[in-house]
Structure 1
Amino acid sequence: MPASFDDDDKAKHGPASGAATNAAGLRLDNYDRTSTHPALPLDDADAAMLDGLSPEEVAREEKRLVRKVDMRLVPAVWIMYLFSYLDRSNIGNAYTAGMGRDLNMSSTHYSVVLLVFFITYVLMEVPSNMVLTRVRPSLYLPALMFVWGGLSICFAAARSWQVIAVLRVLLGAIEAGFAPGVLFLLSSWYTKGELARRYALYYSAVAISGMLGGLIAGGLLQQLDGARGLAGWKWLFVCEGSATCFVALATIFVLPDFPTTTKWLTPRERMIATRRLQRDGVGSAQGGEDVSHTKAAKMAFTDWRTWAFVLTYMCTTGSQTIQYFIPELVKSMGYTGFHVQYMTAPIYACALVAILGFCFSSDLLKERAWHLFTASVIAVASFAIMLGVLDQTGRYVLLCFGVAAVYAACPLVSIYVSNAIPHPSEKRAVAQALVNALGNSASIYGSFLFPKNATDHNRMGFAVTMAFMCIAAGMALVLKYLLNRYPYPEIEQASAARGEDAYRHGETASYEHKA
């Protein structure tokens, strides 16, 4: 890619009327029209120096920048997501550890407790992501985390299942902004060809939280059950909630903001960070795109791509509600006591391998649809065979494969959204949140798929899960066809304006064209 990539576009179209530009052809007066947090200045001297570098020198500078961002952004969001899922999913460990008995919580009550979380989770995602485009992620995301950590501690004081339900409602409202917010932040720093690997590392926290959740629950129940008059399941909420609050305070000093507003980057590095995203056709938050919330919402709601991804994500997340029933499913296979908690860990270990394997392969091959299709088919096949197997060990192994494939499919859909709707950044933020919100609505009815007292090896739950994943497999093929036939308009225009086939087919090829 030539160093003067933006010059062709500037020569063809010229800068916007009245807009000041620097030596790199980037508008300086509009870098933060959409933010209450001022963008840091970009130096003309740095821009001119950058234009004078050879492609090899620019590549080396970019590599150093990406490594620098990797060392701060990915570990920060990983540890935050780890505790997000621990605080969200420890309800399953607590239920099997005695919470259901102590609070007279029936299987139906437990399903209601799971359901109410997703009601506020779905409703609050889009508003939260719209707020995120206007504020500092380094403050906003940790603030959300600190509040949900405090709510988690409050679970230990509950004396009825109704109180647990109310706390789950509040927890859903607060956690709603985190997952889509992190995806938006990652897609504001990384190019399409870099995003899947980073998102896979981030999303691996889901599987690791499942492993640790079982091990932590088992350890706390053994060591603290009855300590200071508290049941073991109450200590589970206290310990994990307190750790969440501590991590939230620590990440304030590590988590970056957006490329144009991050203070620990030099002006030259901010220029490189912004230009590499522009070159890849990705909108940069707080960096030159003047799109109102209303317009961004309208753009996202009227784009057929958004709704195609909503349907796909509903299927994968609806299937992923199985995570809340894994302890009960393991228990139904003959495991008892503390062994139930420990035997959930290998299932999540398989999920971790699947997430990393599928997402890394997707980035390396620059392909999304076939990976999503393959993961979906593996899940369907595993659960289908499982229904015909009576041997408990065989059922456990097939459960590992099926859950792993479901876990691999979910991040592939999220990444696909960012690739298919790259800009403007405000539209991407709304689309990501909308897909995540409506997709998670499937978890509302998914909460009733695996009743505790089922006597048919949960055939209904697995049948519905297989149906979800069959639809996801079909949508992967539909998206592949449609995104190739009807590519994102702005990408086509940019490609034609710049006259660079490499933009579509080269190293930074859009995934719409190689779906």
Structure 2
Amino acid sequence: MAESEKARSHHGAEVQTIDKAPSNTAPDWTPEAERKLVRKIDLYLLPMLWLMNLLSWMDRANLGNANIAGLTSDLQLSSNQFSLAIITYYFGYLAAAPPSMVLLSRLCPSLYIPLLVFLWGIVTSSVAAIATYPQLLVLRLLLGILEAGLTPGVTFIFSCWYLPSELGKRASIFMTSAQLGGAFGGIIAGGVMENLEGARGMRGWRWLFLVEGVVTCFVALVAGFVLLDYPGGGRRMTEEEKRIAVGRMERGRVERGGERRLGMGETVRRAGRNWRSWVVPVAFLLMNTTLVMAYFYPVVVKGLGYTSPIKAQYMTVPIWVVAFVFAMVSGFVGDYRPARRPFLIMGGFGLLTVMAIAVCSVYGFTERYVLLAFMTGGAWVGFSQCTAYLAELFASDHPQVRALCFGVVAAAAQIGNIYGAYLFPAENAPKHLLGFGMVAGTSGLCVFIFAFVYWKERREKARRQDTVTE
């Protein structure tokens, strides 16, 4: 049995650590004990992180629902002003993601993540009270700053608890919260517009922000009592479970950092020397250009023939359901054959590229609606599997370096959202050739970038194997 000792983790808490054992030796715990531990990890992490991400996507995307429900007319916003309100969120996200991830790597996730969620719930509720355009911009900026820690933070937490072969379906399950967030957002927006428009003298779009913000705050309070911290620490695991959690990650060659805490300078230098920290952010920048379509689904669907804003809200739901199915299937396939995960990513973005090109040449309502659904499905196959692949690519890095790289990737992704917000202006309706053409181009580039990453990874793996045999 590996020798155990008490130590201080990289986030300062007292944890149980284990000397590293060679990965080719048999573990001193049973497969059933490990399966039981993984189920417990799933129970504590997946439902709450899934729910918080659902609320995150609802809170950020409800601006699109509010757009066709009277927000732009009430605040007298032009199309460009509305686009600026969208990208202000991403300016905050871009600036906050790297430092937020550095903080997460040094603090307890069970405290830090719920605090962020509670604060952005307050910000979301505050939108119900705005009277001017500058107030909307300030709140969108704050929302971006606070939400910047969630998605890359979840990727980091997953990389600390799960082996690469376990990441695909869990990343897909987590990302379904984004698809269902869009679907639920449309359902809730439609329900609010039907039942609360004018209630107590408030417009329906104001009620939308208030209701979703209050629910977000409540979920954050519950999350503080549920979430796990890091393997080897926290109060929700027995000593034996901590030992297995630490040992299995070390056997999976996932770097934990042990007792050593890196300075900021060394963290940045290590990240800068890794070619992945330069190439992968570019891919995520391009990828998020395709995902910005989500903000304009209500407008695009309305432009396809629905004159009723409420009907347009509900007609976005099937699009998100297709994305849900595609992401879930790809997640299970990716974990069944982890080595083929890059091909799932390339296939997803390849499908998106073909569908986007087709949308630019097909103008019938039914045909365009179906193509839009398959576009979304392809995008979310690529995006959900990229989340799992990201954790694999940086698994051998020190946790603080890994966290910083995840933050940089998340920040770069927001650049795609910033210029993507101008791709679907109202004057381009109903064809939106600029937007769909740009989506086709950026998703096509994603295919080539991930083909390069796959080739580079295989080349490095072959070099390592040659070194071992020598």
**TM > 0.5 fold call:** yes
Q: How does 1:390-469 map to 2 (within 5 A)?
A: 390-422=363-395, 423-455=397-429, 457-469=431-443
Q: Secondary structure at the match of 2:304?
A: coil
The change in CA–CA distance for 1:467 and 1:197 in structure 2 (over 3 A counts) is same
Q: Secondary structure at the match of 1:159?
A: coil
Deviations 1:445-499 (CA, angstroms, capped at 9, x unpaired): 001000012156010111111000000011121111111112499xx49x94xx9
Cα distance in structure 1, aligned partners of 2:18 and 2:6: 13
Return the TM-score normalized by structure 2.
Answer: 0.94
Cα distance in structure 1, aligned partners of 2:143 and 2:129: 15
What is the root-mean-square deviation of aligned Cα atoms in Å? 2.3
Q: How does 1:58-77 map to 2 (within 5 A)?
A: 58-77=30-49
**Does the CA contact (< 8 Å) of 1:309 and 1:413 recur in 2?**
no
Partner of 2:145: 173
Deviations 1:165-215 (CA, angstroms, capped at 9, x unpaired): 111011111111111111101110000000111111111100000000000
Q: For structure 1, which segment, 387-396 or 248-257, has the greater mean C-alpha deviation from structure 2 after superposition? A: 387-396
Q: Secondary structure at the match of 1:40?
A: strand
Q: Secondary structure at the match of 2:14?
A: coil
The answer to whether residue 316 in structure 2 is matched with residue 340 in structure 1 is no
Q: 1:273 aligns with which of 238, 242, 245?
A: 245
Cα distance, 1:55 vs structure 2? 5.4
Number of equivalenced pairs: 464
Cα distance, 1:302 vs structure 2? 2.5
Cα distance in structure 1, aligned partners of 2:408 and 2:17: 33
Cα distance, 1:289 vs structure 2? 4.4
Partner of 1:331: 302
Structure with more contact order per residue of length (Cα contacts < 8 Å, sep ≥ 6): 2
Q: Secondary structure at the match of 2:180?
A: helix
**Does the CA contact (< 8 Å) of 1:204 and 1:352 recur in 2?**
yes
The answer to whether residue 134 in structure 2 is matched with residue 156 in structure 1 is no
Partner of 2:279: 308
Cα distance, 1:253 vs structure 2? 0.7
Partner of 1:39: 14
**Does the CA contact (< 8 Å) of 1:35 and 1:133 recur in 2?**
yes
**Does the CA contact (< 8 Å) of 2:196 and 2:207 recur in 1?**
yes
Deviations 1:68-116 (CA, angstroms, capped at 9, x unpaired): 1111111110011111111111000011111011110111111000111
Cα distance, 1:293 vs structure 2? 2.9
Cα distance in structure 1, aligned partners of 2:29 and 2:254: 22
The answer to whether residue 204 in structure 2 is matched with residue 232 in structure 1 is yes
**Does the CA contact (< 8 Å) of 1:420 and 1:488 recur in 2?**
no
Cα distance in structure 2, aligned partners of 1:356 and 1:104: 41
Cα distance in structure 2, aligned partners of 1:483 and 1:98: 50
Partner of 2:88: 116
Cα distance in structure 1, aligned partners of 2:18 and 2:445: 50
Q: For residue 289 of structure 2, what is the amino acid of its counterpart?
A: G
The answer to whether residue 289 in structure 2 is matched with residue 318 in structure 1 is yes
Identical columns (%):
32
The answer to whether residue 239 in structure 2 is matched with residue 261 in structure 1 is no
**Does the CA contact (< 8 Å) of 2:303 and 2:429 recur in 1?**
no
Q: 1:482 aligns with which of 456, 460, 470?
A: 456
The change in CA–CA distance for 1:43 and 1:73 in structure 2 (over 3 A counts) is same
Partner of 1:6: none
Cα distance, 1:355 vs structure 2? 1.2
Q: 1:146 aligns with which of 99, 110, 118?
A: 118
Partner of 2:334: 362
Q: For residue 378 of structure 2, what is the amino acid of its counterpart?
A: A
Cα distance in structure 1, aligned partners of 2:191 and 2:429: 30
Partner of 1:9: none
Deviations 1:114-152 (CA, angstroms, capped at 9, x unpaired): 111111101111101111111110010000000000000
Cα distance, 1:252 vs structure 2? 0.7
Q: For residue 39 of structure 1, what is the amino acid of its counterpart?
A: E
The change in CA–CA distance for 1:319 and 1:42 in structure 2 (over 3 A counts) is closer
Cα distance, 1:372 vs structure 2? 0.9
The change in CA–CA distance for 1:113 and 1:43 in structure 2 (over 3 A counts) is closer
**Does the CA contact (< 8 Å) of 1:31 and 1:288 recur in 2?**
yes
Structure 1, unmatched stretches of 5+, are 1-22, 500-515
Q: For residue 367 of structure 2, what is the amino acid of its counterpart?
A: G
Partner of 1:99: 71
Deviations 1:395-425 (CA, angstroms, capped at 9, x unpaired): 0010000012112212222222211111211
Cα distance in structure 2, aligned partners of 1:456 and 1:243: 35
Q: For residue 11 of structure 2, what is the amino acid of its counterpart?
A: S
Cα distance in structure 2, aligned partners of 1:275 and 1:56: 9
Structure possessing the higher radius of gyration over alpha carbons:
1
**Does the CA contact (< 8 Å) of 1:77 and 1:182 recur in 2?**
yes
Q: For residue 117 of structure 1, what is the amino acid of its counterpart?
A: Y
Q: Secondary structure at the match of 1:307?
A: helix
Cα distance, 1:426 vs structure 2? 1.3
**Does the CA contact (< 8 Å) of 2:48 and 2:223 recur in 1?**
yes
Cα distance in structure 1, aligned partners of 2:269 and 2:92: 22
Q: Secondary structure at the match of 1:133?
A: helix
Partner of 1:133: 105
Cα distance in structure 2, aligned partners of 1:260 and 1:54: 20
Partner of 1:17: none
**Does the CA contact (< 8 Å) of 2:6 and 2:15 recur in 1?**
no
**Does the CA contact (< 8 Å) of 1:30 and 1:289 recur in 2?**
no
Q: For structure 1, which segment, 376-385 or 214-223, has the greater mean C-alpha deviation from structure 2 after superposition? A: 376-385
**Does the CA contact (< 8 Å) of 1:373 and 1:473 recur in 2?**
yes
